[in-house]
Amino acid sequence: KAGVTQTPRYLIKTRGQQVTLSCSPISGHRSVSWYQQTPGQGLQFLFEYFSETQRNKGNFPGRFSGRQFSNSRSEMNVSTLELGDSALYLCASSLEPQGARSYTFGSGTRLTVV
Amino acid sequence: DAKTTQPPSMDCAEGRAANLPCNHSTISGNEYVYWYRQIHSQGPQYIIHGLKNNETNEMASLIITEDRKSSTLILPHATLRDTAVYYCIGNNAGNMLTFGGGTRLMVKP
């Protein structure tokens, strides 16, 4: 079966712009979580969606937002990009919000802010 | 999630067992120990998890001490493709995983 699909794979944006990243979970998975990975901070939790509702949010500024659609696909948006937002953004899906036992990660979107 | 401590890096000879330690002395009674790995330029991949008993699957074995304060992930016959960063996570079924720095395992020919 198809895995978690993240698009685009690579993205270059300019400071001050905004960006939208997309995540299509494994068919039948209803929970989607987003993580940011940087060399300095490692993997950090951004937010989690289940049945179109945000269940948890990590410690990130309001410039980071997300949503989930009725087909479980999710998008995350970063507004007013800063150089420090350059990172690998990873999406993980699971059937239910059951935690680490059922996560499948995508390959990520690598965002570079210049 | 429990705070975990892992050595930053380890080397292992190809074909030998790789034993990756993890300290999780603050783990609570309902938190499982999970292991994930991340191969360069890919998302993390689930390996194995356990609560109290030792566990084994097709990828690895997990040995958890009786006091649950530490565990060891064992890759019985490491190959070059096992070169990755290995993360040990304590989790109680919430989806907000806390990844530490992990251990960078280098398998050498």
What is the per-residue burial (b if ≥16 Cβ within 10 Å, else e) of B54-83? Answer: ebeeeebbbbbeeebebbbbbbeebeeebb
Q: Is the pLDDT of residue B18 over 80?
A: yes
Task: Give the pLDDT score at A30.
Answer: 92
Residue of chain A minimizing CA distance to B102: A42
Confidence of residue B1 (pLDDT cuts 50, 70, 90): low
Task: Give the pLDDT score at A62.
Answer: 96
Considering only residues B104 and A97, tell me which one the structure prediction assigns the higher pLDDT. B104
Cβ-contact A47, A58 below 8 angstroms: yes
Number of C-beta neighbours around residue A112 at 10 A: 12
Q: Which residues of A touch B91 (CB under 8 A)?
A: 99-100
What tokens appear for A85 in the block? 């937002």
How do strand A87-94 and strand B61-64 relate by DSSP bridges? unpaired
Q: Is the pLDDT of residue B2 over 90?
A: no
Task: Give the pLDDT score at B105.
Answer: 98
pLDDT single digits (tens) B5-14:
999 999 999 9
Q: Which residues of chain A have pLDDT under 50?
A: none
Task: Give the pLDDT score at B95.
Answer: 67
- Nearest CB to A33; choose among B32, B89, B95: B95
Report in angstroms the alpha-carbon separations of B45 from A38, B68, B74.
18, 23, 16
Q: How many CB pairs under 8 A join A and B?
A: 71
d(CA A23, CA A5): 6
Residue of chain A minimizing CA distance to B89: A100
CB proximity A66 to B under 8 Å: no
Beta bridge partners of A23: A6, A74
CB proximity A55 to B under 8 Å: yes
Q: Helix count (H) and strand count (E) of chain A?
A: 0, 11
d(CA A64, CA B78): 40
HSE-up (13 A, CA, CB side) for residue B2: 27
Return the CA Rg of chain A: 13
Cβ-contact A20, A67 below 8 angstroms: no
Considering only residues B94 and B18, tell me which one the structure prediction assigns the higher pLDDT. B18
- Nearest CB to B46; choose among A4, A97, A103: A103
Task: Give the pLDDT score at B93.
Answer: 61
∠ CA B84-B88-B93 to the nearest 5 degrees? Answer: 125
The verdict on a CB contact (< 8 Å) between A94 and B95 is yes
Dihedral, B62, A102, B88, A5 alpha carbons, nearest 10 = 130
CB proximity B86 to A under 8 Å: no
pLDDT single digits (tens) B52-103:
989 999 999 999 999 999 999 999 999 999 999 999 988 766 667 888 889 9
The verdict on a CB contact (< 8 Å) between B46 and A100 is yes
d(CA B93, CA A82): 33
- Nearest CB to A43; choose among B41, B49, B99: B99
Residue at token pair 């380890």? B10
User: Tell me, what DSSP letter sits at residue A100?
Assistant: G
Task: Give the pLDDT score at A1.
Answer: 63
CB proximity A60 to B under 8 Å: no
